[in-house]
Amino acid sequence: MAELVADEVLLREGLRLGVGVDDPVVRGRIADRMRGHLAAASPAEVTADEARDEAAKQAARMPVRIRLALAFVSKERARAAGDADALARALATAPDAPAPYGGDRVPIDAVEWWREEDLARAAGPSVARAAAFGPIGGWSAPIASAWGFFLVRPLERRDASPSEAMESAIATVRARKLADSVARAVGRVSNDYDVTVHSPPGEPAFDRKSIVELAGNRARAPGVD
């Protein structure tokens, strides 16, 4: 409790003294929190017509879902590359062997159906490409990653279901509406400030409208607090 009280006192004193106003991490964190507050204040309701229109636009590019098996060899092993090659040879002779496959624990969450983009974020783009385009039922060669070596076996691929397509469309429309709302709010508030930008020689002059455009783009990004 004493530590919590001390933190609160130091926080209030820091705000009073302006501590951190020149720290880019602190400034960026506060700006992102403001984006979050602006987004939370906007209901961004999506109508059925808006969702249907967006779903129709996305129909041709909805991501395929992939069900796959993964084997993994940690880079912490003394002979990680050699062990991964040995595991690949073993799996090539027994592709239907049940898990576990003789490697290490796979360092990503167990998800039944992956989207390529989600798998790329979790394990790397090379793993995602092997899952998306590798032969069904066959194991890939070892794929190097930040954690070690993945071996990928695509089991099944399917198109998004109508409910998944609609869910994606609603999320897209909602994100667009929130981004537009945040951009409008930033545009209104920015008129209360004098903005001076010193551009390097040869660079185009700064346009105040860029503030609004950038605010909208940042609001569409995932992970905003």
Mean pLDDT, 10 residues at a time, over the chain (225 residues)?
Answer: 86 86 82 83 84 79 85 94 95 88 90 88 92 94 93 91 80 85 81 78 72 59 36
Task: Indicate the class that CATH gives domain 63-158.
Answer: alpha beta
What would the pLDDT profile of 173-199 be if each residue is shown by its tens digit? Answer: 888 888 888 888 887 877 787 777 777
Q: What is the pLDDT of residues 156-178, one digit of tens each?
A: 998 877 777 788 888 888 888 88
Phi and psi at residue 222, to the nearest 5°: -75, 155
Own/partner pairs for 38-43, CB < 8 Å, 24+ apart?
Answer: 38/181, 38/182, 38/185, 38/186, 38/219, 39/178, 39/181, 39/182, 39/219, 39/224, 42/177, 42/178, 42/181, 42/182
